Amino acid sequence: MMRNPKRLGLAGVALAVALTSAVLVSTSVQASSRAVSTVPASDADGVELPALPGRYDVGTLTRALTDHHRADPFAPTPQDRSVMVQLWYPATDVERSAPAPYMTSALAAFEENASGLPAGTLGSIRTRAHVDAPPRRTRGGWPVVLFSPGSGSSRSLYTTMVEDLASQGFVVVAIDHPYDADAVEFPGGRLVLRNLPPDSDQTNAAAVAVRADDTSFVLNELSMLDGRLRGTMNLHRVGMFGHSMGGATTAATMRTDPRIAAGVDLDGTLYGPVVDAGLSRPFLLMSSAGHDRSNDGTWATFWSHLRGWHRDLKVTGSGHLTYTDIAPLSGPLHLAGMFPTEMTGTIDGDRAVQIEQTYLTAYFDRFLRNAPTPLLDGPDPTYPEVHFED
């Protein structure tokens, strides 16, 4: 088990694949994973993300938000902290709106150039969302789910999961954390590159604290968003999830922000005061096959201080990257062998997606909609890969 949160970002190392990132975890994994993809752009033509599991079509929009009350601690020059957010939501009349790109243009060009990918490879991946499609409205508004990505990674790497949740009747708000991600594109094509100190527990704890502040700021701003989504969000029903360092961010944000009713950590080592303080609201730990409370002391300590509903689920055959778009796109993009098996796991990508979307939806249905979800009460024969570690 690799205890440090894995850094995800295409430009992070020379490992180049059509949609994803380098993984910086331990010396042995770094050495074994530094290879360059030979997948030509033509092989990626027509590659689609999985079909939406929910009943709703999905729209998406992006916003740049600036917190004028907070200085950016990682910026090379004094400036207010800014973040990029992307929202996915239940939509209508999507045929009148353009399909959303998998990645913004400047970011895609940066990643392709840094990794030696053929130009256009990332742009050839087709998402299921539509840009600025009219939102579908519901009485009281849709529940809101915040999302924080892994260290070094872009929100784009998790498009499957966030689109899936939106199709189930949630507004999903993903946050790109500048100077933490390898690159974040702002309006006008301005690209902000990673600028964190070398990886260490202290650096990770500081990054998680900034991410938690980012998240609370974004939640403040949602009630003031202009345009299409005004009045479509129920900000009294808010959850959050994240992968790797994004999972740590979820727990840290919940410690300081009581508006978040329920959280999920997907395979992320924890940092900061929340490890010892715990939480009194619902929290779900969901891990890869090689990660659990026996080899991650932060999970063990945190677990012992959880005072609300909590579960610890492990997916057999999964790896750390199973919770990213590598899972569904590894087959279509011929990525087998591009990563160490311990990182990708052996589980079929489509099956992994099905498990993730089913359990995440069940969790947020229970705690944001008060819906009965017996799936979370114990093992289910339909999903034998999911082990309850309680």
Alpha helix locations (H) across 267-377?
274-277, 297-304, 326-329, 341-344, 349-369
Superfamily, domain 7-388? Alpha/Beta hydrolase fold, catalytic domain (3.40.50.1820)
pLDDT confidence tier of residue 111, bands split at 50, 70 and 90 = confident
Q: At what angle do helices 201-222 and 245-256 cross, to 10 degrees?
A: 60
Per-domain boundaries in the chain: 7-388
CB contact at 8 A, 25 and 2? yes
pLDDT in tens, 35-73: 333 344 444 457 899 999 999 999 999 999 999 999 999
Q: Average pLDDT over the chain, rounded to whole?
A: 87
pLDDT in tens, 244-274: 999 999 999 999 999 999 999 999 999 999 9
Phi, psi for 85 (deg, rounded to 5):
-125, 150
Beta strands 22-24 and 7-9 are antiparallel
What pLDDT score does 4 carry?
A: 44
Decide if pLDDT at 322 tops 90.
yes
Please name which of 86, 114, 116 lies closest in space to residue 102, comparing C-alpha atoms. 86
CB contact at 8 A, 345 and 314? no
What CA–CA distance (Å, rounded) separates 24 from 3?
12
What CA–CA distance (Å, rounded) separates 129 from 84?
18
Concatenate the DSSP letters of all residues of 126-169 into one string. Answer: EEEEEETPPBPP-TT-EEEEEEE--BT--GGGGHHHHHHHHHTT
What pLDDT score does 117 carry?
A: 67
> Average pLDDT, stretch 98-109?
92
pLDDT in tens, 114-157: 766 678 777 889 999 999 999 999 999 999 999 999 999 999 99
What pLDDT score does 39 carry?
A: 42
Decide if pLDDT at 1 tops 90.
no
The CB density around residue 53, as the number of other CB atoms within 10 Å, is: 15
Strand partners, 311: 284
What CA–CA distance (Å, rounded) separates 363 from 369?
10
Beta strands 126-131 and 57-71 are parallel
